[in-house]
Amino acid sequence: MSDPAIAVRGLRKSYADFEAVRGIEFEVRRGEVFGLLGPNGAGKTTTVEILEGYRRRSAGEVSVLGFDPGERSRELRARVGIVLQSTGIYRHIRVREAVAHFASMYPHPRDVDEVVAVCGLDGKQTATARTLSGGQLRRLDLALALVGDPELIFLDEPTTGFDPAARRNAWDTIRSLKELGKTILLTTHYLDEAQALADRVAIIKDGRILIEGAPGSLGASAGGAPFRVVYRNGDGGVVEHETDDPTALLYELTGAALARGERLEGLTVTRPTLEDVYLELTADEDPEPAPAGS
Amino acid sequence: MTDVAIMAWRQYRLERRLFWRNPSAAFFNFLLPLLFLAFFGAIFHNNQHDLDVIVPGIAGMSVMSTTFTALAFNITFLREQGVLKRIRGTPMPGISYLLGLAGNAVTNTAVQIVIITVAGKVFFGTGWPRNYLELVVFVSAGVLCFASLGVAFSHVIPNFDSAPAYVNAVFLPVVAVSGVFFDETHTPGFLKGIAQALPLYHLISGLSAAMVKGTALSHNVTALGVIAAWSALGILFAVRGFSWDQRRD
């Protein structure tokens, strides 16, 4: 089980007039939550859809749970759960009926009622899909992807359109999946979501991975100092220091302040957030228009 | 193989449940051929010859509407909504899913043929079918032909909003030219030529033989041949162009 859940090497995907993916490499370890971030049209969805077996790659090596997803083996599909960005369902199907029907497609499904409950659809079992709210439909998407008890779960923008409470609930569900030992490939626009859930993230732009690593360590690998110390001096002016050794810097600053009999007002020590790194890396003076459908 | 069949059966059962869960749609689905029958029955009520034309004509139209029209609509809708893509991500074989969908359509065909046959006997004096085997053969051939053409045609329809326009642009002229509502002997020659190149004309003449005239199957081999040729074309394009996803790769 030590081989990676997903291994991607030299992945390329060309459309008639456009190269959407230009040599991507990454690995997702078993039991890990891996976040794939990037602006629209960066190649995220194309990459994920190649891994899901929806699209053929133009070049490169791809392995998902040891299978080539391009061959679309049923065994692989039975071990993978997919939550797509926008997928419909029969308008007149009932919640429990839908989950039970999807359960019947898998060799070792989870308990239907348990999955309905885990996805927060208790009390909605007999509601038809057309009467559900957007958030409830999204939870039904998750239920349909989980009911086959997959080892690997693809989540494409799983909380788009959720209110804050529903997002927290969804995050708890995703964390509980990780505790069950599931591997999760998460694509998201929400950087706080990636920061909260992902063990590692990769930022994609223009079909290439710009940076990859644990969300907290990306600042350092992006070339910036890992810590930022900020306080206000006696005149109320803001003073900023960047350092890779905050302990020594704080000792020095606070010692000097105490010696002067002053306080360091508003003292904070921060690491650059994922958002800081993301915005810096993906800033584009000459934005290419995002091609449709990539 | 049994697995494929079991999953197709489950999908079929689901499709049937959902079909009846939208009762108004189900009602009109079965009411439409009866409305046509009642309308033309009222017009031709003293004329057994015309009634004998209209009953198999409506039966042929029903085969086309329950398979060609229904599948072209459904598949366009399911593709646009992403239902096909979702199914594609599960271990259910694609063929099981499509068999379930088609089975649902064929069940509607069978029910409509029964309704029309009974109405023909009870209200229009056409009597019970003369040749049940021939009836089954032609309904089956028609179903295969129009179901595959419906799936193939769904590849041409760009989105669900335009589906009624596309489907009716084919369905209405084909129904009009193929002698559903009138005796083909009155048709001008060039229209008859067009009709004879199309499968519905031949389906109706086969159904007419089975339901009214009682001519043997051996007299209708040409009709069966034309339907088979269109079926081959339909299956070829249904399979070749099939896309599970709205976005073409």
Give the residue-averaged pLDDT of B201-206. 94
Give the residue-averaged pLDDT of A107-122. 94
Q: How far apart are CA A36 and CA A58, in angstroms?
A: 20
Give the residue-averaged pLDDT of A165-180. 90
Interface of B with A in 79-108 (CB under 8 A): 80-83, 85-86, 88-93
| Higher local confidence (pLDDT), A126 or B39 | A126
Q: Is A89 on the interface with B (CB under 8 A)?
A: yes
Least confident of A194-203, A266-275, B24-33, B178-187: B178-187
CB–CB of A194/A188 below 8 Å? Answer: yes
Give the residue-averaged pLDDT of B89-111. 93
Q: Is the CB of A88 less than 8 angstroms away from the CB of B82?
A: yes
In this structure, the number of other CB atoms found within 10 A of the CB of residue A73 comes to 14
Residue B241's φ and ψ, nearest 5 degrees, are -90, 5
pLDDT digits (tens, 9 = 90+) for A280-290: 777 765 555 55
Q: Is the CB of B21 less than 8 angstroms away from the CB of A148?
A: no
**Above 90 in pLDDT, residue B145?**
yes
Maximum Cα–Cα distance for chain A, whole Å?
74
Least confident of A20-29, A233-242, A255-264, B163-172: A233-242
Q: How far apart are CA B64 and CA B178, in angstroms?
A: 12
Tokens coding A15: 């459309």
Residue A249's φ and ψ, nearest 5 degrees, are -65, -45
Instruction: Collect all residues of chain A within an 8 Å Cβ-Cβ radius of residue B244.
Output: 54
Looking at residue A7, the DSSP 8-state letter turns out to be E
3-state secondary structure of A36: strand
Q: Is A6 left (phi over 0), alpha (psi -120 to 50) or beta?
A: beta
Amino acid sitting at position B202 = H
Amino acid sitting at position B136 = V
| Banded model confidence at residue A181, pLDDT cuts 50, 70, 90 | very high
pLDDT, chain B, mean = 89
Q: What percent of chain A has pLDDT over 90?
A: 50
Residues 6+ apart with CB under 8 A from B194: B177
**Above 50 in pLDDT, residue B219?**
yes
Q: Is B225 on the interface with A (CB under 8 A)?
A: no
List the domain boundaries for chain B: 2-240
ipTM, two decimals, is: 0.88
| Banded model confidence at residue B14, pLDDT cuts 50, 70, 90 | very high
Give the residue-averaged pLDDT of B187-204. 89
CB–CB of B58/A65 below 8 Å? Answer: no
**Above 60 in pLDDT, residue A67?**
yes
CATH number for domain A6-219, candidates 1.20.120.550, 3.40.640.10, 3.40.1740.10, 3.40.50.300: 3.40.50.300
User: Which element (helix H / strand E) includes A227?
Assistant: strand A227-232
Work out the angle at residue A141's Cα, subtended by the Cα atoms of residues A137 and A145, and round it to the nearest 5 degrees.
165
Cβ-nearest to B91 among A77, A89, A128: A77
Cβ-nearest to B89 among A56, A77, A90: A77
CB–CB of A150/A79 below 8 Å? Answer: yes
- Angstroms from A263 CA to nearest CA on chain B: 60
Work out the angle at residue B175's Cα, subtended by the Cα atoms of residues B170 and B177, and round it to the nearest 5 degrees.
100
Instruction: Collect all residues of chain A within an 8 Å Cβ-Cβ radius of residue B89.
Output: 52-54, 77, 80, 82, 84
pLDDT digits (tens, 9 = 90+) for B25-67: 778 778 888 888 888 888 877 788 888 888 999 999 999 999 9
Closest listed residue to residue A140, CA positions, set A115, A161, A165: A115
Tokens coding B178: 């193929």
Order of strands across the sheet with A208-213? A80-83, A152-156, A183-187, A33-37, A200-205, A208-213
Q: Is B7 on the interface with A (CB under 8 A)?
A: yes
From the CA atom positions of chain A, what is the Rg in Å? 23
Give the residue-averaged pLDDT of A195-207. 92
Place of tokens 């339909």: B234
End-to-end, the C-alpha distance of chain A in Å comes to 33
pLDDT digits (tens, 9 = 90+) for A71-96: 989 999 999 999 988 778 999 999 99
User: Which element (helix H / strand E) includes A27?
Assistant: strand A18-28
Q: Is A108 on the interface with B (CB under 8 A)?
A: no
Q: Is the CB of A101 less than 8 angstroms away from the CB of B14?
A: yes
pTM comes to 0.84
| Higher local confidence (pLDDT), B40 or B164 | B164
Residue of B nearest to A103 (CA): B90
Residues 6+ apart with CB under 8 A from B159: B76, B80
pLDDT of residue B101: 93
pLDDT of residue B33: 82
Least confident of A56-65, B25-34, B85-94, B201-210: B25-34
What B37-40 contacts at long range (C-beta under 8 Å, 24+ apart), as own/partner pairs, is B37/B116, B37/B119, B37/B120, B37/B123, B37/B124, B40/B181
List the domain boundaries for chain A: 6-219, 225-271
Q: How far apart are CA B211 and CA B133, in angstroms?
A: 10
CB–CB of B174/B64 below 8 Å? Answer: yes
| Higher local confidence (pLDDT), B156 or B30 | B156
**Above 80 in pLDDT, residue A264?**
yes
In this structure, the number of other CB atoms found within 10 A of the CB of residue B160 comes to 16
Q: How far apart are CA A227 and CA A249, in angstroms?
A: 10
